[in-house]
Amino acid sequence: MRHVFSSAVLFAGIMLLPALATAAPSRADAQKAYNARDHSRCALIYTQLTQMPDAIRSDGYNAACCLALAGDADAAFEQLRDTILSHYTRVADIEQDPDFAPLHGDPRWQPLLDLARQEEDRHLAGTDRALRHELFVRMNHDQQMRGRLMADPENRTLLEEMQAIDRDNTGWLKNLIDTRGWPGYKLVYKDGAQAAWLLAQHADLDPDFQQQVLELLEKAVLEKDASPSHLAYLVDRVRTGRDQKQLYGTQFIKEDGHWLPAPIEDEANVDARRQRIGLGTLTEYAEQIRDAYAQ
* Contact criterion met (CB below 8 Å) for 224 and 218: no
112 vs 83: CA distance, rounded Å:
11
63 DSSP 8-state letter: H
276 vs 137: CA distance, rounded Å:
32
282 vs 248: CA distance, rounded Å:
8
pLDDT digits (tens, 9 = 90+) for 195-227: 999 999 999 999 999 999 999 999 999 999 999
281 vs 23: CA distance, rounded Å:
15
220 vs 86: CA distance, rounded Å:
24
* Bridge partner residues of 264 (DSSP): 246
Q: How far from 84 is each of 19, 61, 87, 148, CA to CA, in Å?
A: 31, 9, 5, 32
pLDDT of residue 2: 57
pLDDT of residue 23: 53
Q: How far from 85 is each of 51, 67, 102, 192, CA to CA, in Å?
A: 16, 18, 22, 20
Q: How far from 239 is each of 249, 250, 255, 283, CA to CA, in Å?
A: 11, 11, 19, 21
Reduce the DSSP state of residue 268 to 3 states and report it: helix
pLDDT of residue 24: 62
295 vs 291: CA distance, rounded Å:
7
- Enumerate residues 6+ apart whose C-beta is below 8 A from 197: 217, 226, 227, 230, 233, 234
Phi-psi region of 256 (alpha: psi -120 to 50; beta: other; left: phi over 0): left
- Enumerate residues 6+ apart whose C-beta is below 8 A from 160: none
- The half-sphere exposure of 72 on its side-chain side, counting CA atoms within 13 A, is 20
Q: What is the dihedral of CA 266, 269, 272, 273, to 10 degrees?
A: 0
- The half-sphere exposure of 189 on its side-chain side, counting CA atoms within 13 A, is 21
* Contact criterion met (CB below 8 Å) for 232 and 226: no
Query: b/e for 139-169, b at 16 or more Cβ within 10 A?
Result: beebeebbeebeeeeeeeebeeebeebbeeb
Q: What is the mean pLDDT of each run of 10 residues along the chain (295 residues)?
A: 40 26 69 94 95 85 97 97 93 95 98 97 96 96 92 92 97 98 97 96 96 97 96 97 96 89 96 93 88 69
